[in-house]
Amino acid sequence: MKRRNVLIQGVALAGLLMLGACGGGKEGPAAETQAEAPKQEFNIGWSIYAGWMPWAYAEKSGILKKWADKYGIKINLIQVNDYVESINQYTAGKLDGVGSTNMDALTIPAAGGKDTTVLIIGDYSNGNDGIVLKNGASMADLKGRTVNLVELSVSHYLLARALELSGMKLADVKTVNTSDADIVSAFSSPDVTAVAAWNPQLSEIKAAKGATMVFDSSKIPNEIQDLMTVSTATLKANPNLGKALVGAWYEVMEIMAKGDAKANAAIDQMAQLAGTTPENYRAQLKATYLYYKPQEAVAYALSPDIIKHEDAVRQFSFSKGLFGPAATSVDAIGIGFANDKTLGDKANVKLRFDPSFMQMAADGKL
C-alpha cells in the first residue's frame, strides 16, 4: 500500500498557488473561498492506504451510493494511483474532496490558499510509521548517522519528533531523500544503517536481519492522522455532500467494528481492492487506530489535544518551508477548530477541523 510520496511536487504547486493567491488573481483556489452554487454531482479522490480502504469498500458494496441517493446527489469515488497527485488534483479544483493526512492537508491545499475542511478524522498512525536501525538498539544510537527517508514527508516529521522526544534535534543526523519505492532496497545496502519508513515497506525493513525498530508512530498518537477533507466552499453550498460521506463512512466503520463474519468479509474485500493479502492488510490495520465510532472522533476534535498536535505539525511544516515562499511566519496560515479556537492567523484560516457532521452521525441524525 502506498501513501505520502515525495511532497516536493506538492510544495512546488502550493508555492505557485500561494503566489497566485497573494497576487489577488480571480482564478485559482483563492476564488474558491467565494460562495459556490449548489450542485448534484461530486468527485472525491482517494489513494490506496490502510486507513482509506473503507472508501473503496463503501463504493463496491453500494453503501456510498445508498447514502448519496438518500441525499439526492451523485458521488464519484475516484482512485488516484499517486497520493500526492490526488492532493494536487484536489488543490487545483479537479476534485471536491480527497483522502489526506493532516500534515499534507495543511502544507498543500491550505498552504496553497484553498480553504479546506476536515470532514472526517478517520484514524491515526499507531505504528504504521517507524525508524529502523542496523547495529543499534535505541534512539541514542541514531546520533550522527545518515537517515534515508522521503524528505518533507510524514517520515521526516516522525524523525523530527523522535529526535525531540529523545533529547536530540534534526541537526544531530543527516537525511538522504529516498523514495518510498526504493526505501526497502536502500536498507539492504551496507552503506545505509538507518531509515524512516511507513508500511508496507516498514514491515519488510524491520524483518531484515540485524534490523531494530527504535521508534514508531504509536509513541506520538494522533500526530499523523488520515482524514477526509473537502472544499469548504463546496461543503457550505452542498451540506448534503458532507452528510452522505459521513453517513457512508460510519456505516462501514460499524461493519468493521463488529468483528463478525460480515466484518471479516469486508476486510478481505478491502485487502483485495488494495492488491494485498488479507493477512497483510490486517497487520496494517493493527497499526492503524481507526475511530470506529463518531463519538470518539468528535471527542478528540473537541479536546485540547488536537490543537497541541496540529501545532507540532505546523511548527515542523513551517520550519521546512512547506508553507510556501510567501509565508514569513508559522502563524501565516490559520487552522480552525471547534468552538472558534484557532491556531495562526484568524483572518486567513485555510484548514478547518469541523466535527459538526461527525456529531450528526454520533447523534443518529443522518
Please write the tens of the pLDDT for every residue from 258-308. 999 999 999 999 999 999 899 999 999 999 999 999 999 999 999 999 999
Q: Mean pLDDT throughout 139-166?
A: 94
Beta bridge partner(s), residue 227 = 100, 121
Residue 113, C-alpha cell as written in the block: 490558499
The fraction of the chain above a pLDDT of 90, given in percent, is 81
Residue 6 in this model has a pLDDT that exceeds 80: no
Which positions ≥6 away from 237 have C-beta within 8 Å? 35, 36, 37, 38, 39
Question: Quick one: pLDDT at residue 183?
Answer: 93
Provide the pLDDT for residue 200.
80
Is residue 159 over pLDDT 60? yes
So what's the pLDDT on residue 328? 93
pLDDT at 238 over 50: yes
% of the chain exceeding 70 in pLDDT: 91
Residue 337, C-alpha cell as written in the block: 477548530
Ramachandran angles phi, psi of 304, nearest 5°: -65, -20
Is residue 33 scored above 70 in pLDDT? no
pLDDT band at 2 (very low <50, low <70, confident <90, very high): low
**Mean pLDDT (the chain, rounded):** 90
Q: Per residue in 49-105, pLDDT tens?
A: 899 999 999 999 999 999 999 999 999 999 998 888 899 999 999 999 999 999 999
Residue 194 has a pLDDT of 98
Backbone region of residue 74 per phi and psi (left: phi > 0; alpha: psi in -120 to 50; beta: other values): beta
Identify whether the C-beta of residue 43 lies closer than 8 Å to the C-beta of residue 76: yes
Task: Determine the pLDDT at residue 19.
Answer: 33
Burial category of 118 from C-beta neighbours within 10 Å (exposed 0-12, middle 13-18, buried 19 and up): buried
State residue 25's pLDDT score: 30
**pLDDT higher than threshold 90 for residue 344:** yes
**Rounded-to-integer distance, Cα 148 and Cα 164, Å:** 18
Domains detected in the chain: 41-124+224-363 (3.40.190.10), 129-219 (3.40.190.10)
Report the pLDDT value the prediction gives residue 247, as an integer from 0 to 100. 98
pLDDT at 152 over 60: yes
What average pLDDT does the segment 330-345 reach? 97
Q: Shortest CA distance to 215 belongs to which of 255, 172, 162, 165?
A: 162
**pLDDT band of 34, cuts 50, 70, 90:** low
Q: Is the pLDDT of residue 7 over 60?
A: no
Mean pLDDT for 29-49 is 79
Residues near 356 by beta carbon (within 8 Å), at least 6 away in sequence: none
* Helices 53-60 and 261-274, packing angle to 10 deg: 110
25 versus 348: which is more confidently predicted? Answer: 348
46 pLDDT above the threshold of 70 = yes
Residue entry with cell 525498530: 213
